[in-house]
Structure formats: structure tokens, C-alpha cells
Chains A and B, each alone.
Chain A
């Protein structure tokens, strides 16, 4: 239990995927423009990442290892992730069409969100068990969501403030992301 808690805290805060390991920066900058999209993207990523880490564990342990095909793991994981994202997309188009429209291209781009593949590969590298894999995936996604939502809140706030002209838009967003990353450095050594 403690192990899993530490794994979660480690994935969410200490080794935050966005701000410490710099994975998944594309959606981090792309969909943090407003809160609603950020929350939608977080939910989609949370769902996909947790499921993807479970599925990729199963594929690895029960398909690739018995056949001695560990070297195919990257391809196999990408196939699994792409399928999961397509499934999420189809289901979301039916259940929440507006979110589907709002997320637009970023939804299929979860496929190429390197955090998703990163989690699957790190699970293999660190020899996590099934439960650990699922929690590690969940923790990574939760950390991603946390940072994304915090960043979106800040960007919404910045939209109404007086920013010098050369810093407007992506420039100030990059600086803010850098400062957030510095802040997250404070967690290192906690676990």
C-alpha cells in the first residue's frame, strides 16, 4: 500500500511528466488556452493513459514475453495506444460532441503524446507489476492533468492582465511554464 502511494506521489509530483521529465509538452502548450478545454483534455488523457498502461502491460507480459518478442514493444505499444485513442474518440463523439469539437485535433494527438508511450515503456523498464503499472499510469496522467489545469487557470488570468507587448502570447506562456517547472523542482528528493 505504501509502495503504491509512494509510486503515485512520485509520478504526480516528484517526477511530474510534464514539468520534470518534459514529456507531453505539445498538449500542455496547445490546449491550456482555456479552462474548459484543459479539463476535457485532462479527462481524456487520464482515461487513455490509465487504460493504455494496463493494456500495454498485458500485451507485453502475455504476448511479447512468451514469444520472445520484447524488441517489438515500441510498435506493439503504439498500436495499442492508437487503438485506445480511436476508441475514446468514437465514444466521445457520441457522448459529448461539444468536447469532441473543442478538443479537435488534440484528441487524436493523444496518440503521439509521448507521455503515454513514455509511461508504457517506463513500466517495462522499471519492471512494475500489473497493479503498479496501472497506478503509475494513473499517477502520470493525474500529474499531467494537475499541471495542465493549473497552467490553464494561469493563462486565463493572464488574458486579463497587462503584459508588455513583446511578451504577449506564447512568450509569456513559455516563461510561466519555466517558472512552474522550477517550482516543481522543489519536490525532488521528497520520495
Chain B
């Protein structure tokens, strides 16, 4: 009945309109119901950064850079983290790994600051600059760096008035990976793994050596650990069984070393992060206390000014009264 009275386009327009309105209302409700307040991705990214707090990325610390990455900044701005950090960020965010931005600095071995103690004048300027509180000392006393807590950020070098701080190489953290494992030129001399499985029954601890070899070769350490890398007793029975004569045990040894160093780096980063957070808390508290003191001083000064002004007024009026008295006498 309706359709005969109303124009022909009423039905399609009205039905699509109501469909759209209904769906829009539903989406609006869902968006309200599942509103996202904070971005937990930032925390995940921050955990991957090396926590040196060096600011080489152009942000004041690792957390701000993590926030910047989460909102779309490039992942290749962290020289202390190097290619390893870029790779882990790339796999977390599923973006392509970029080479490190050379303009910001170069990745190198881990450095620590060392104070030439004979030259230190005890000015305490470096202590204020250290983001992780890794420098010990007090005004007019010699300072020293806690080497295990130093992140090698360079921030203490610049404030030192007598240039007595040096950056020296800490113990090497990146294992020397044998070049034949990764270089394209030498890979021809080594035959590829043909997945023949001859190594599998040889392994006394039940590892699948060929799968583990692939994981180690592609530097997927998590994957390697899932494949029980740490269970390997390095008996080299798989080497003997391999028809392609792959250096299986050697690659596992290198992988173990790399995993070990990675874990140590991670532990160091976690410690540095905690120290930085404490440092920040302390700095904020000091700033707040200083501000409170300043305000108190200001109010005191104002009151004192008022008192002085009123006493001057009183003295003036007294003097004037005396003068008037004298004039009347005369």
C-alpha cells in the first residue's frame, strides 16, 4: 500500500538509510564501550630499547622515543641498540628493518665512562648529568663511575670542567660470528642443509639439529631456544652424521654465546630503566622542594619588606611629630 502511494525511490533510499543509521548507532556504541585509554604498545617498545637514556635519537630518553615510535617515528634512530634493537623492533611492529640512521651516531662496542681520578676536582657536575645515577661522589671529593651500571651515554663528558672523563670499551658484548656462516661469498664452499634428517637420530638429547641450524643461521634466537638450543651438550655427533658437513656444533656454540650476551644486555637494560626512573623521581622531588623553598623565601622577603616599610613609616611619622612639636614650642 505504502509503496504504491510513495515515489518509487522511497523504498531503496529509506531502507539503505535506516540500515546505515542502525549500523552507525551500533558502531558508535561499540566505540564508546571499547574506548582505548592508554597505549600498551609503548611499554612493549620501551622494553626493547637499550635504556641508555643517551638522547642520541633526539628524544629526552628511551620512553619518549618509544612513544614516538608508537605514533609512527622511524625505528632506526637508536645507535646504542644497533641492528639488534632495530631487528627486534621490526619484528614486534611488523615493519621492515631499516639500516641505522648514521647521522645520529654509529653502533659500536659497549662503552663505559671512566673518571681519571687524579684529575677530578670534585665539582659534582657529572653526578647531576648522569641519567642512571652511576657516578658516586660528593662535592670536593673524588668521584668514580660504577662500571656495571654505566650505560655509556656520554652525557657526563660535556659538563666536566677539567675533561677528566674518558669513554673506554667495556667487555665486548657482540660475539665474533664466524664469517663463513653469514657471508654470501663463502656460502658456496658450504653445501646447503638438505633436510635429510640423518642428524636427528644421532642427537643424544633429542634436539632436531637441522631445524636448530636454520634458526641459528637466520639469527632467530627465540626460535632457537624453543628448539632446545640450551639443551645441546656439544657432543658434535650431528657434525659427524651430516652428509653436507655443516658446522652444526660451531653454530650452536656461537648461538649460545649470542643468546647469553643478549640476556645480559637485557638484564642491564632492565636495571638501567629502573635506575633512570628512580633518578627521575628524585630529580622531580628535588625540583619540587626547591620550588617550595623558593616560594617560602619569596613570601618571607615580602613580609620583611612590609615590616621594614612600616617601621620606616613609623620612624618618619615620629620624626615629623617631633619636628611639629619643636615648631610649636618655638
Contacts and interface: CB of A to CB of B under 8 A. Distances in A.
A-B interaction: yes
Interface of A: 33-34, 37, 59, 63-64, 67-69, 72, 75-76, 79-80, 83, 86-87, 90-91, 93-95, 97-98, 101-102, 104, 157, 159-162
B263 interface: no
A160 B34 contact: no
Contacts of B214: 157, 160-161
Contact of B16 (A75, A101, A162): A75
Contact of B36 (A68, A93, A157): A93
B39 interface: yes
A96 to B, nearest CB: 10
B187 A83 contact: no
B41 A87 contact: no
Nearest to B38: A97
Given A64-B15, A97-B41, A161-B214, 15 more contacts: A34-B94, A69-B12, A72-B12, A72-B16, A75-B16, A80-B19, A83-B23, A87-B30, A90-B27, A90-B34, A94-B36, A95-B34, A97-B36, A98-B41, A101-B93
Contacts of A67: 3, 11-12, 15
A86 B34 CA distance: 12
Contacts of A160: 214-215, 217-218
B178 interface: no
A63 B23 contact: no
Interface of B: 3, 11-12, 15-16, 19-20, 23, 26-27, 30-31, 34-36, 39-41, 44, 91-94, 187, 192, 214-215, 217-218
11 contacts: A33-B94, A63-B19, A67-B11, A72-B16, A79-B23, A87-B30, A91-B30, A94-B35, A97-B40, A98-B41, A161-B214
A97 B42 CA distance: 10
Given A79-B20, A83-B26, A69 B94 contact: no
A68 B9 CA distance: 12
Contacts of B44: 98
Given A94-B34, A97-B39, A69 B26 contact: no
Given A97-B41, A160-B214, A160-B215, A79 B19 contact: yes
A94 B94 CA distance: 19
